[in-house]
Amino acid sequence: MILLPLLFQAQTPLSSPAPPVEKPIATLPTEDGSTITVTGGNLKAAKADLDQCLRDHCPPKEDIQRSLTYAELQFIAGDYPGSHRTLTESRSRNARYAAELPVEVAGLHRAVGRVTRLNGLETSPVTSFADAVYALRAGLPKGAPCIWEQRLEVGDALAREGRAYGALQHYSWVAHAANKAGMTDVLGMALVRTAILTNAIAADNPQWRQRAQESIDKVLRRTEPGMRPYRNVVRTIPIQLVPEKDRPAIIDKVVAELESDGEHQALVYSPNIYPRDLPQGAALTEAGPAFVDISFRVMPDGHVTDIEPVNLTAATRPAWVDVVTKAIGERRYTALRNPGHADGTLRLERYTFISRQTPQAGSRIASRTADRQISRLDLTAAVDPVAARR
């Protein structure tokens, strides 16, 4: 999901009369200085393609692809409920084809899970991510790496819900299977998640500190070339744990220790943003989803500049945007050994401030919490992130 550059280009024949100017729904900057615009016309065209597909009783694979395309446009345009509806309707039509289309159906389940979380719905995303595992198992060999990778996403969802023991259990299952089968990448992803989560727990629970350090050492002892990115990840973990006054020195130490190829910039440090950092207030559910898209540049020396909000919804409080932009400004990336240009690399990220639905005593209508969870979605792929996405 989120395949931006080609998706939003409107295809208009040269012989056609100039269409009326449409008010942009969302405008996203590109590296060359141009912009990609989502308009009502883009959305209408994608919906028309999906509707035509359904009228023609198109094959399930095509139905899934067109549904994902339309849902993605809805999501980028800020119609989170509509995106969720499009995906769940497609899932109800196509889930039964998992044996024939395991990857496609799993992708649909996965998209439903992600958008369910971003909508703050009562339904746990864990269910959809688990359904994606079952879909892959229905049509792929038992030991396929993508099945184990999807199990990791189940663990991630459990961790986000505060179910740390369940998450660690999933990571352990995957690590054991991957080590036995020689799946280096899957093993690295599982061990890194274990290290990140155990160290997060140890920050508030001293009895976990030995286990947390062992989880880091376990990755560092793996000397295979394929484990290099994962060794780099765990080297960055201590940065988050030291007092703020000691952090600059630790960052410099970690940067010096990283096994960088000098050709790709990796995220070394990004300040955590916690719900407590956001000024609270009544959930503005009538104003729609609360999110902001933020554009910024990563300079060749690893510092960040040109931080600018480019899309801001009515439900997003300016104070929240200030918290996010401050955190982005404090990031540190690895430096380029031979920078091709001095202007840096453009990045774009969406921050969604999620207000969860909670049941109300004596009512069938769920209310929204004032506390906000934060989701960061990378809308670019120009820089390889070291840290796991949250």
Q: Among the residues of 278-363, which ranges form H helices?
A: 318-329
Task: Return the pLDDT at 8.
Answer: 25
Q: Residues of the chain with pLDDT > 90: what percent?
A: 61
Each residue of 218-227: pLDDT tens digit?
A: 999 999 999 9
Please determine, for residue 92, whether its predicted confidence score (pLDDT) is greater than 90.
yes
Indicate the range of 44-53, 226-235, 329-338 predicted with least confidence. Answer: 329-338
Round the CA-based radius of gyration of the chain to a whole number and report it.
Answer: 22
Split at pLDDT 50, 70, 90, the class of 17 is: very low
Place of tokens 């999933």: 170
* pLDDT of 355: 83
What is the mean pLDDT of the segment spanning 300-326?
Answer: 91
Angle at 57 between CA 56 and CA 58, to 5 degrees: 90
- Residue 199 pLDDT exceeds 60: yes
> Could you state, in order of their start, the residue ranges of all structural domains in the chain?
1-140, 142-259, 267-360+367-390
Q: For residue 303, what are its two tokens?
A: 């510092």
Strand partners, 332: 269
Longest dimension (CA), the chain: 71
Q: Are 56 and 96 in contact (CB under 8 A)?
A: no
Report the alpha-carbon distance of residue 390 to residue 380 in Å, rounded.
Answer: 15
Return the pLDDT at 189. 97
Asked whether the predicted pLDDT for residue 19 surpasses 50, the reply is no
Residue 130, both tokens: 């688990």
* Cβ neighbours, 10 Å, residue 385: 15
* Element housing 314 (H / E): none
Q: What is the pLDDT of residue 345?
A: 87
Q: Which of 4-13, 71-80, 242-251 has the lowest mean pLDDT?
A: 4-13
Pairing state of beta strands 332-333 and 267-269?
A: antiparallel
What mean pLDDT do residues 111-121 have? 93
Report pLDDT for 362: 60
- Asked if 278 and 303 touch (Cβ cutoff 8 Å), the reply is no
pLDDT band at residue 384 using 50, 70 and 90 as cut-offs: very low
Find the mean pLDDT for residues 121-129: 92
Confidence of residue 338 (pLDDT cuts 50, 70, 90): confident
Architecture of domain 1-140: Alpha Horseshoe (1.25)
**Would you give the DSSP letter of residue 289?**
-
H helix and E strand count, the chain: 13, 10
Vertex 171 angle, CA 168 and 176, to 5°? 125
In this predicted structure, the answer to whether residue 265 has a pLDDT above a threshold of 90 is: no
pLDDT of residue 312: 83
Considering only residues 372 and 233, tell me which one the structure prediction assigns the higher pLDDT.
233
Q: What is the mean pLDDT of residues 122-128?
A: 92
Q: Which residues of 159-171 are buried (b: 16+ CB within 10 A; e: fewer)?
A: bbeebbebbbebb
Question: How much is the pLDDT for 152?
Answer: 97
d(CA 82, CA 347) in angstroms, rounded, equals 26
pLDDT at 181: 96
Question: 312 vs 149, which has greater pLDDT?
Answer: 149
pLDDT value at 385 more than 50: no
Residue 263 to residue 309: CA distance in whole angstroms: 28
Contact residues for 295 (Cβ-Cβ < 8 A; gap 6+): 29, 306, 307, 308, 309, 310, 346, 347, 348
- Amino acid 386: pLDDT: 39
In this predicted structure, the answer to whether residue 238 has a pLDDT above a threshold of 50 is yes
* Cα→Cα distances 74→22, 40, 94, 298, Å: 16, 10, 20, 29
Per-residue pLDDT, 3:
27
Residue 350: per-residue pLDDT: 94
Tell me 280's DSSP state. P
Predicted pLDDT of residue 18: 34
Does the pLDDT at position 108 exceed 90? yes
pLDDT greater than 70 at residue 173: yes
- Which of the residue ranges 4-13, 157-166, 173-182, 349-358 would you say has the lowest mean pLDDT? 4-13
Give the confidence band of 376 by pLDDT, cuts at 50, 70, 90. Answer: very high
Please write the tens of the pLDDT for every residue from 25-76. Answer: 555 555 555 555 555 558 889 999 999 999 999 999 999 999 999 999 999 8
Long-range contacts of 228-231, Cβ-Cβ distance < 8 Å, separation of 24 or more: 228/259, 229/188, 229/386, 230/188, 230/189, 230/191, 230/192, 231/259
Q: Tally Cβ neighbours within 10 Å of residue 57.
A: 7
Q: How far apart are CA 149 and CA 157, in angstroms?
A: 13
